[in-house]
């Protein structure tokens, strides 16, 4: 949810669904907050506004109540999800999968970020390091194995080094050039 909209608890959302008509009065959704807590909400009313969808939830009746929802991700229950074509997967199903660059294990998907570009970003944990990899079809090797919790990719050379920590030599070189 992007921002509050109005004075009675309304919020503006950017819809990332292939089934946008799923948002209707009386539909129950979950708001997943930054703290990984889910809160069940029921749509009371809704309307389009400047390319966004404005939602008014039952029991969210003030700006301050709506502010607690900002930054949350709206989700439907697993039972409400539509059937996907072969080769497609829900980004929420990718969390927890191990990612491999060909046969080399890189890390485990800890999160998926939308809106950073055309492809969602897989946020991997590899020890203490966080690695961001675009979940782009061009990098995938075959179909994602959700039952085996594995994603096989063929990444461009150097991609994993883009956000790697500096080596001792690189730190010294950076220090000399800044003096």
What domains appear along the chain, each with residue ranges and CATH number? 3-79 (2.40.30.60), 91-160 (2.30.30.240)
Q: How far apart are CA 135 and CA 139, in angstroms?
A: 7
Residue 52: phi and psi, rounded to 5, are: -115, 175
Q: How far apart are CA 1 and CA 53, in angstroms?
A: 10
**Residue 23, both tokens:** 């948002």
- Higher-confidence residue of 118 and 149: namely 149
Q: What does pTM read for this prediction? A: 0.58
3-state secondary structure 82-108: CCCCCCCCCHHHHCCCEEEECCEEEEE
122-144 pLDDT tens trace? 999 888 888 889 998 899 988 88
């Amino acid at each position: 949810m992007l921002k509050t909209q109005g004075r009675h608890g309304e919020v503006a959302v950017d819809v990332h669904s292939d089934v946008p008509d799923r948002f209707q009065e009386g539909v129950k959704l979950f708001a997943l907050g930054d703290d990984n807590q889910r809160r069940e909400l029921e749509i009371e009313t809704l309307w389009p506004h400047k390319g966004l969808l404005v939602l008014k939830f039952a029991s969210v009746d003030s700006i301050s109540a709506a502010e607690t929802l900002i930054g949350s991700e709206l989700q439907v229950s697993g039972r409400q999800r539509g059937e996907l074509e072969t080769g497609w997967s829900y980004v929420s199903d990718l969390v927890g999968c191990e990612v491999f660059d060909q046969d080399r294990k890189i890390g485990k998907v800890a999160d998926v970020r939308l809106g950073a570009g055309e492809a969602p970003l897989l946020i991997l944990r590899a020890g203490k390091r966080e690695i961001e990899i675009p979940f782009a079809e061009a990098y995938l090797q075959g179909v994602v194995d959700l039952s085996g919790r594995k994603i096989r990719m063929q990444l461009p050379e150097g991609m994993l080094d883009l956000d790697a920590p500096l080596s001792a030599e690189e730190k010294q070189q950076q220090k000399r050039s800044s003096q």
